[in-house]
Structure 1
């Protein structure tokens, strides 16, 4: 009974049943109009090309434009339309969505489609396409309401109603001064509840947040996200309002930044997707892999320095991977924390030093706990399963436990200081730190472990 109550309706399936039904075209459109465009888009992708072409005609360019805004790769479907029909669909789409689709097409098709657009749509899309992908101007839309600051409340409401027919981002009304420069913003609710005799100036927020069109996305995304506004204006250096970044755009930008950061931490030069060729994926992965190959050779040569330890105490080789893996894991944790903290550009030197101390303290406490566990369990393993004398067994396990704790403390420090260093010299810490941290920590762990084994077990305790 409970399962039936909690089961959600499959709207896409219902829409497909309507599309494949024997209803008249008018009846089909009437029934489908009850569903959200996102569900229609999901059903639309499940149709064959022949079926979609029938629905292109039935829906018309305006509704197709709305449906395409909910499809992940609409450019592949737009290619199913004749160029003049595709241009009509693009003209009904938000300028940023249309620019994204055109950006995926070859230059020849892109040029033809832009040439078929109406003057206003063509101007907006060309402007957005003129920005680099990592600039805020490439993310903006020209879908917004704008008025001048010399209007009355009644005039402002009339202007809002007139513009709302073509622009659906109406929750924030943007205001220009007499020189057509950005002056401020009005919350729609404030405009609605204002009395006719009130002064428009009283409800304008003149210190409203904004971004510049050439600002880098990764440099300002955290700042604008914190405002939690429905939209943020995009201005030129001359303070002219040319577009807005909507909440949806901000969410998409944050998602892409997280994907890029994840890729960088994994040692990729860019994020990958399922449609890439083998050669493209190799191109993204090989640069850091080549660097890591030579760094790994360096680590291996350090292990070779301690070959005398391995020769006289081969049992220590069993626990090398344990020390290396734990050091790498701790370093990666500290790296993730540090990169997140470094997003705050106002961080003081004292706060950065506090972060280093805190990470080392956490590394020490975790290392002490895990070192004790390693001392007990590895000691029992060597004593009972390897049939070594109990003293011999626990001396070796003690060396492993102490090395583990020391490696974790040093790895925590390295995982914090390395990204701070790259951030200081203006290199993206996610790009430079991710691939290096594990290798550096391997080096630290090898020197710590074999160095202690050489000093403590061979020279101090003279176990051989």
Structure 2
């Protein structure tokens, strides 16, 4: 019996139908908890403004902050939300995501939103914004748990439980020394299974991988992708922990770098080419097309010089497309090797 392909459910469509079902807000809230934030983010585009505003009200600030982290063009949705509530949503996001969101609004509104945030959020955003775009510090999040090396296993567990509610990245617990410098890291599993009398220092990995905040993203990629860790600490020049790079951040960074490299090799710029208008696209690509046209004319001219030879040996023409095809294949293979 042949295996039948089971069609996957369309969660986005289900969400849209749920919101338009006319069910009570409580009923929608209960059911929508079963869906992933990314699916809800995708559903926003399928809803009209009135339906989205209803959804904002149902979900609340904390859930919306998690959903907006998955939205590419979140600026247009922030326009539909009251300024104070929008500030609360951004305040609840990871610092790196909050910076990305703030970059999508105009400068005046950006200042208004930041002014409404608490001091801790302001400091985190200021820290992320202090780095150049190509520095790894610009991609880190300040969402992590750090404990003192002097704690016992029981004390460490109590502190972990107390901080876990406000931090998503809990699979790795970072440890600081008496002078607040980075001391090492503990795997959550090791801490959970450890006995109360176990020496905490025996659980700490003292040679845990890390990166410096001002290192370039390109230099860090090779190092980061070699470690199967959920997060990598980012240290300053004084060995103090500033933030972490999560596995998701690493994937996004690698994806962005590969996209940039491919675009540059093709004579294009980055993602802006996907959003720019036709005139700008023509202006950037026309010079390359003109050069290729000139080279093609040269090939045609050279071929014309051997017209007499070709007239006597017509079979030679059949090899022309083969040779041109081989050069195209060689170019494609060389491009693939270069990108890798």
TM-score (norm 2): 0.89
Query: Which one has a bigger Cα radius of gyration?
Result: 1
Q: Equivalent residue for 2:140? A: 140
Q: Equivalent residue for 1:150? A: 150
CA contact (8 A) 1:190 1:203 kept: yes
SS of the aligned residue for 1:65 comes to: helix
Q: How does 1:169-318 map to 2 (within 5 A)?
A: 169-282=169-282, 284-286=284-286, 288=288, 292=291, 297=294, 308-314=305-311, 315=314, 316=316
Range with bigger deviation, 168-177 or 121-130 = 121-130
Q: CA 1:206/1:283 → structure 2, altered by over 3 Å: closer, same or farther?
A: farther
SS of the aligned residue for 1:6 comes to: coil
RMSD over aligned CA atoms reads 2.6
Q: CA 1:330/1:159 → structure 2, altered by over 3 Å: closer, same or farther?
A: same
Tell me how far 1:286 sits from its aligned partner.
4.9
Q: Which runs of no fewer than 5 residues in structure 1 stay unpaired?
A: 341-464
Q: How does 1:354-433 map to 2 (within 5 A)?
A: none
Higher helix share: 1
Q: Equivalent residue for 1:84? A: 84
SS of the aligned residue for 2:306 comes to: helix
Tell me how far 1:240 sits from its aligned partner.
1.7
Q: Equivalent residue for 2:121? A: 121
Tell me how far 1:270 sits from its aligned partner.
2.5
CA distance in 2, matches of 1:3, 1:302: 53
Q: Equivalent residue for 2:56? A: 56
CA contact (8 A) 1:270 1:284 kept: no
CA contact (8 A) 1:310 1:317 kept: no
CA distance in 2, matches of 1:303, 1:50: 61
CA distance in 2, matches of 1:44, 1:3: 35
CA distance in 1, matches of 2:196, 2:70: 40
CA contact (8 A) 1:269 1:285 kept: no
Q: Which runs of no fewer than 5 residues in structure 2 stay unpaired?
A: none
Tell me how far 1:241 sits from its aligned partner.
1.0
CA distance in 2, matches of 1:218, 1:244: 17
Q: Equivalent residue for 1:458? A: none
